Homo-oligomer: A and B are copies of this chain.
Amino acid sequence: MGKNENKKKVPETTISRLFVYLREVTELSKIKIKTISSAELGERTNLSDAQVRKDLGYFGQFGVSGSGYSVSGLRDELQKILGKDKTQKVALVGVGHLGSALLSYSGFSKHRLDIVAAFDTDIRKIGKNLEGVLIQSIQEVAQVIKEKKIFLAIITVPLGEAQEVADLLVESGVECILNFAPVSLSVSEGVKVKDVDLSRELETLSYFLDNGD
């Protein structure tokens, strides 16, 4: 029962691309383009037509043979699939350079993610307001997270503190962590963690530059 009657698992890469399609058709609808083919949409997003159709095919049949997809129709479908209407409350721990960047990242406001709490250990920062979010003491994490029923947190603290912070977050009820500290966090079963290591991404790329393709 439920919406997942046909259980072919959707790859994470597909979901990720769906956000790209959504962005694209949202732009197209603004400039009054009515219809787009998978080939055109693929060209605009640097993907193949087959990939576009395959990705959409996981969720239904949105196109019309011979003419393609309705731009506004596809936009609405994608919004429904990706749940853009729901807003996800997020806590941010570590208001350093990167934390501030994420906090002010314009993307958040117009999307499904809303940073509603920020924490730091630095007394000079605590009590201040950044982008409309109050920076609180790390000691209040547990209370605030429970109070506000926050299930997703972003960790932007230094390497040495990341695991400790993660433990605290999980203990407080967080189920999903996006970790920007360059460690692989270990958390209890059921908690979802994604490590985003910017330094490593940069280094990997630069390796491929040096060594050809």
Contact = CB atoms under 8 A, between A and B. Distances in A.
Contact of A208 (B111, B192, B202): B192
Given A112-B203, A112-B206, A98 B105 contact: yes
State the oligomeric state as a number of copies: 2
Given A101-B100, A105-B199, A200-B16, A205 B178 contact: yes
Contacts of A209: 88, 151-152, 175-176, 192
Interface residues of A, number: 53
Contacts of A196: 198, 201
A160 B11 CA distance: 30
A207 B85 CA distance: 12
A162 to B, nearest CB: 13
Given A20-B184, A97-B100, A101-B100, A201 B213 contact: no
Contact of A201 (B96, B182, B194, B204): B194
Closest 7 CB pairs of A and B: A107-B199, A97-B101, A176-B209, A98-B101, A16-B204, A101-B101, A46-B184
